[in-house]
Structure 1
Amino acid sequence: MSGQDMSDKIRAAPQLRLVGSVDEAMYAEFRKQLAAAPESGPLVVSLTTLGGNPEIARAMADDVRLLREAGREIYFLGKAAVYSAGATFMAGFPVEARYFTRNSSLLLHERQIDRTVRLVGPLKSCIDQLRATLNEIEFSIRIEEDGFRSIVAGSDVGFAEVRQKAPDNWYIACEEAAERGLIAGIV
């Protein structure tokens, strides 16, 4: 399929439309719409989100990976805002399968944590509690960095640049995303 034909297909009608917070309800809706989608031909998933649960986004992205590995053509269409966990989901699509509508934007940032560590008990158990929290943080950083690598794979954006800009919430207009190769085009 030519680039123009694909742009026309994406414009025509995404088969899966997801709007709102990336959470368990969105995942259930994604699975429901996926089950009802045509069994052949390319699939287009449109997404508008201000963010949500990054682990749910990773699970959805893994579903996309499995579909692609089974030979299914599946494309991403970002509409208006693809922020935070939405970018994590988008990372499940290769650059050549990512599109945005005009005036859309992407937000890349670091994962957040809001945790109070209360130490109670024998001193040795306090060390274990702190070590468990540190292990969680370090593992989450590795997951975050893997996601950043997936987002930039095949683009002109390097991992070091994302690492530098993510702490300050890097908002990327669709035009810049296309110029930098983070998406295949704007429809």
Structure 2
Amino acid sequence: MSRPAPTGVLTADAFDTPRILLAGAVDYAMYDRFRDQLAEAPKTGLTVIELSTLGGDPEVARMMGEDVRFQSDLNPSRRLVFLGKAAIYSAGATFMSFFAVENRYLTRGTRVMIHERKMNKELHITGPLTTCIASVKAVLHELEHSIAIQNEGFENLVRGSSVTMDEVLKRAPENWYVEAQEAKTMGLIADVI
């Protein structure tokens, strides 16, 4: 018989044996490890997903986050909880944003780093003028949609906290580091373990 998922703020003993352990770059190899471990985790009760990362591919983080969202909707008797350990940078913060605040935890001293997405692209314009305009517009559209996706993640991250979007948009270009206890005070996480 399966146990129901615990409710409310969790204590340290709930994090004794995380079911999903992830460390390193957020990339397709991590996504494969995540999917394998998620498939093996119980479908009911508490499932802790522990992560430590210096960042990586934000789209992979979004894929992992969508899996968390989907599984949470599919199995309401299962509580998926995020535990950030040591460093939750960049794409790690994107992944964390898919968890409701009450399901976000950090270990003592962990830093969350929030920054804008980065682009490294050269625009080489050559050819007929109309083709040149199309090339410039294509890059502009890529930038506009990347900013929109980035800001959706920021909105998810700060929803339910005391942090405003204006503050995130002001601080993110400079790589904003938030220490665990500060994240709790701001309402970005449920607790520090």
- After the TM superposition, which segments of 4 or more aligned residues of structure 1 sit over 3 Å from their partners? 1-4
Which residue number corresponds to residue 84 of structure 1?
A: 90
Gapped regions of structure 2 (runs ≥ 5): 1-5
Query: Hey, what's the Cα distance between the residues in 1 that align with 2:28 and 2:13?
Result: 29
Matched with 1:17 is 21
Note the aligned Cα RMSD (angstroms). Answer: 1.1
2:180 alignment counterpart:
174
User: Which residue of structure 2 aligns with residue 32 of structure 1?
Assistant: 36
Structure 2 counterpart of 1:122: 128
CA distance in 2, matches of 1:144, 1:172: 18
TM-score, with normalisation over the residues of structure 2?
0.93
1:142 aligns with 2:148: yes
| Match of residue 156, structure 1, among 148, 151, 162 | 162
1:46-61 → structure 2 map (5 Å cutoff): 46-61=50-65
The one-letter amino acid of 1:43's match is T
Residues 109-149 of structure 1 deviation map (CA, whole Å, 9 limit, x = unaligned): 00000000111211110000000000000000000111000
User: Following the alignment from structure 1 to structure 2, what is the Cα–Cα distance between the partners of residues 179 and 16?
Assistant: 27
CA distance in 2, matches of 1:62, 1:2: 22
What corresponds to 1:131 in structure 2? 137
TM-score by length of 1: 0.96
Give the Cα separation in 2 of the matches to 1:3 and 1:146. Answer: 26
